[in-house]
Amino acid sequence: MSAVPAISLPPGGVLISLGADLIEIERIRGVMERHGDRFMDRILTEEEKAYCASMKFPHKHIAARFAAKEAVSKCFTTGIGKEFGWKSASVYHGARHEPLVRLDAQGQALLAQVGATHVMLTLSHTDNYAMAVAALVRA
CATH of domain 14-138: 3.90.470.20
For the chain, the average pLDDT equals: 92
- Strand runs (DSSP E) across the chain, as ranges? 14-24, 89-93, 99-103, 118-125, 129-138
The whole-model pTM stands at: 0.89
Percent of the chain beyond pLDDT 90?
A: 89
pLDDT digits (tens, 9 = 90+) for 98-107: 999 999 999 9
Q: What 3-state class would DSSP assign to 131?
A: strand
End-to-end CA distance of the chain: 33
| 9 has a pLDDT exceeding 70 | no
Q: Which of 16, 10, 99, 13 is nearest to 52 (CA)?
A: 99
Q: Which of 132, 113, 108, 117 is nearest to 14 (CA)?
A: 117
Residues ≥6 apart with Cβ < 8 Å to 69: 43, 80, 86, 88, 89, 91
For the chain, counts of helices (H) and of strands (E): 4, 5
Residue 4: the pLDDT is 46
| 12 has a pLDDT exceeding 80 | no
Average pLDDT over residues 29-33: 93
pLDDT digits (tens, 9 = 90+) for 62-90: 999 999 999 999 999 999 999 999 999 99
**Residue ranges of the domains in the chain?**
14-138
pLDDT digits (tens, 9 = 90+) for 32-64: 999 989 999 999 999 999 999 999 999 999 999
What is the rounded distance in angstroms from the CA atom of residue 110 to the CA atom of residue 68?
Answer: 16
